[in-house]
Each structure stands twice: as C-alpha cells, then as structure tokens.
Amino acid sequence: MLLEGKTLLITGVLMDSSIAFHVAKLAQEEGAKVILTSFGRTMKITQTIAKRLPELPPVVELDVSDQSHLDSLAERLREHTDSLDGVLHSIGFAPQGAFNFLEGSWEDVATAIQISSYSLKSLGVACLPLMSEGGSIVGLTFDAKFAWPVYDWMGVAKAAFESTNRYLARDLGPKGIRCNLVAAGPIRTTAAKSIPGFEQFERVWDERAPLGWDVGDPVPTAKACTVLLSDWFPATTGEIVHVDGGVHAMGQ
Ligand SMILES: NC(=O)c1ccc[n+]([C@@H]2O[C@H](COP(=O)([O-])OP(=O)(O)OC[C@H]3O[C@@H](n4cnc5c(N)ncnc54)[C@H](O)[C@@H]3O)[C@@H](O)[C@H]2O)c1
C-alpha cells in the first residue's frame, strides 16, 4: 500500500464533495492514519461527514486565520500522534467582494490572501514540530498563470499561493520536507459553488481538455495528492502537477 505506516494531517474536509474528503478516503485505503481539521460551526459538519470514511478519524480544530489555533496545533495533534509524514492543505476562501477585480476592497483581498495563500506557510510552520523526520506538504491550486473569467482576486491569491509553495520548498527542503501543489481543473465543491459564474470554467474545460474533464469527479485530483503525499516523488519539490485533463498545455 502506498501510504502504509504513514500519518497524515488533512485539512479541508467540509462535505463529501470536498477534494480533501477523497484524499482522506484514498489515503486510508492506502494504509495511512488520517487526522482531519475543521473549525467553528463547520466542526460538526466535518465530524458527520467523517463517518463516511472507511475509518473514523479524529477532527482537530484549526482556523488558519486564528494564530492561537496555529500556535497550539502541534500540541493538540500530539494527543493523536507523535509525528506527521504528510500534510494536505485544501483550504480556500475569499469574500464575495473579491470576485470583482476592479471593485474588490483591500479588506476582502487581504482576507483571501491570508486564508488562501499565507496559510500554506502558517500550516507548514505549525506542523514542523511533528515533522522532524521530513515529509510531504501538498496543496491545491487553480492554475494562476492566467487571468480567468470571474476568479479575480482569488486568482491573485492563487498566484501568491503558488509562489508561497516555492519559498516553502526552499526553506523546508533542508529539513527533508517536500512542498508541491496539484493544479486541478474545476470541480463542483462548496468552495466552487460560492464563486459567482463558476459555470464559465466548466465551459472552458468542456471545449479545451484533450482528455475530457468531469466536474463531478474529484478522484483524479485526489489520486495525484495521494501520490505526492507518498514516497513516490522523493526528489520533487516546489512543483505544480496539473490534473486538468490537459487544458494547461493547450493554446486554444
Ligand atoms: N473546486 C475546484 O474547482 C478547485 C479547483 C482547483 C483548486 N481548488 C482548491 O481546492 C481546495 C479545496 O477546495 P474544495 O474545492 O475541495 O472546496 P471545499 O469547500 O470542499 O473546501 C474548502 C475548505 O476550506 C476550508 N476553510 C475555509 N476557510 C478556512 C479557514 N479560515 N481555516 C481553515 N479551513 C478553512 C473550509 O472549511 C473547507 O473545508 C481549495 O484550495 C480550492 O481553491 C478547487
């Protein structure tokens, strides 16, 4: 099994449509022990959805915008494990105002960047005390090389996220920790549904993906995350693996 003997921290399980839910499921099927995070009033939802996994994992509270949660994370995780081999960052949020590029306020943009970009660094640093043996940090992006319809300041936040991944790879590489992202095509999740005009992405993928693309199927994306969390990419860091049916490589 790909993840036999490994312990993973998986953020971002909200519903069973969440990309992170499918990573948690595959990870357990591949032999990993999984710990989930959630926060505030979504804790109860995550605890309910977690019952649909092959094994019921513990759910630890983590709001990445709350420094006290980050500061106490390692200590609270120690109730469940002595070490982590991998961490999935599957977190994204932007206030509605951030989906209007010319009108978006700095407050809205700052929130998007704190929760969707800076949090990769915050989460990585918070988990460091449990990763003294090295490991793998994996995050999820939406290809930030382009200006997309409707994505607006979330697109800018994803560009910052991708850059954050490269700097994290630089600083954690000497500790044996790999940092990589999966650039997924559009998938109908709660976060996606909160983007006004999300169906415009679906049209782009319908027209341009040489392999085709199913917006209702998070499994190809989850599989890539699972492999990046395993030992099978031992010399890869600072990388972005596209799981998008090939759209990123097409000129039109
Ligand atoms: N769905 C897509 O089309 C798509 C495509 C490419 C990348 N992604 C990325 O995948 C990741 C997961 O999103 P998803 O599509 O599975 O949606 P989702 O709504 O299921 O997951 C988003 C998660 O972010 C969490 N979150 C939000 N604010 C948080 C905070 N302050 N602290 C901790 N957690 C917080 C939510 O609780 C939720 O679990 C995001 O980074 C998203 O940008 C999604």
Q: Which domains does the chain have, with CATH numbers?
A: 7-246 (3.40.50.720)
**51 C-alpha vs ligand 1 centroid, how far in Å?**
20
* pLDDT (average), residues 29-46: 98
Q: How far is CA 218 from CA 31, 66, 136, 168, 197, in A?
A: 20, 29, 21, 26, 20
pLDDT of 52-85, one tens digit each?
Answer: 999 999 999 999 999 999 999 999 999 999 999 9
Which of 36, 49, 189, 244 gets mutated to test ligand 1 (max ligand atoms within 8 A of its CB)? Answer: 189
Which residues participate in the annotated binding site?
Answer: 12, 18-19, 63-64, 91, 94, 158, 187-191
* Cα of 218 vs its chain's centroid, Å: 12
Going by C-alpha positions, the residue among 137, 91, 96 that lies closest to residue 117 is: 91
> What residue's CA is closest to ligand 1, atom 12?
90
Q: What number of H helices and E strands is found in the chain?
A: 9, 7
Q: What is the pLDDT of residue 44?
A: 98
Banded pLDDT at 193 (limits 50, 70, 90): very high
